[in-house]
Amino acid sequence: MATQPVSEPAPAFADLHAAIARYYTETVQTHGATPHGVDWRCVPTQELRFVQLLKLCDFSAPFSLNDLGCGYGALLAYLARRHGATPVDYLGVDLSAAMISAARRHWGGKRNPGRHAEFAVGHASARSADYSVASGIFNIKLDPSAARWRRFVAATLEQLHASSRHGFAVNFMAPLPRGVTGSAGLYRTPAGVWRRWCEQHLGATVEVVKGYGMREYTLLVRRN
């Protein structure tokens, strides 16, 4: 059985945070406020992920939402179009200052009735919210060892849990079929690894959402 990942304090990952920020600064400077700017293929698959993540939220009443790894704030557009009747107090957080600048430019002049939205540079939210979501933030592993990346994931999940009153949602890429070789720079892991970790280390109830047409899954992690 694989060893359960153990988290480390956020300062231990300052170099990883900087590397991730550089990666996404380059993507947004190259492609702008578009799905390619946050390393997604297209709007339909980007929004299909939003559908799964937002299964965590109760849209029958107003709520606050932290969006970790928010990019240029694409989730805001989806919320306005599909859930416009529910007021959402939104905070988008991203490691890349260039990405946050793009988000502020993109949303600065847009009217957003019933929805308060702010953006901040950082590796974690500075406030508690009802829910937190994180889309694709663990996919691009870059250069660290697999063991260190697992510790980074564990620390980030702890932060998401600590800043979420009701729960958080996050997605991961699933392993490829046996014999198929993928990119060494991508992080893929079975759903059971982080489901068990969240249950055992966070004391949470975890729902695994899969079967939505992509080789990935979403964890809905709810406080008990």
Residue pLDDT tens, the chain, 224 long: 344 444 444 568 999 999 999 999 999 999 888 878 887 778 888 999 999 999 999 999 999 999 999 999 999 989 999 999 999 999 999 999 999 999 999 887 555 555 689 999 999 999 999 999 999 999 998 888 989 999 999 999 999 999 999 999 999 999 988 767 667 688 999 999 999 999 999 999 999 999 999 999 999 999 98
> What's the rounded Cα separation, in Å, for the pair 15 and 41?
27
Sheet holding 164-173, edge to edge: 115-121, 88-94, 63-68, 129-134, 164-173, 216-222, 205-209
Asked if the structure places residue 111 within a domain, the reply is: yes
With a CB cutoff of 8 Å and minimum separation 6, the contacts of 115 are 76, 79, 80, 87, 88, 89, 90
> What's the rounded Cα separation, in Å, for the pair 26 and 16?
16
Give the domain CATH number at 214. 3.40.50.150
Asked if the structure places residue 5 within a domain, the reply is: no
Asked if the structure places residue 190 within a domain, the reply is: yes
Residue 55: half-sphere exposure toward Cβ, Cα within 13 Å: 19
How many structural domains comprise the chain? 1
Asked if the structure places residue 3 within a domain, the reply is: no
Residue ranges making up the domain that contains 129: 10-222
Q: Are 25 and 97 in contact (CB under 8 A)?
A: yes
Asked if the structure places residue 205 within a domain, the reply is: yes
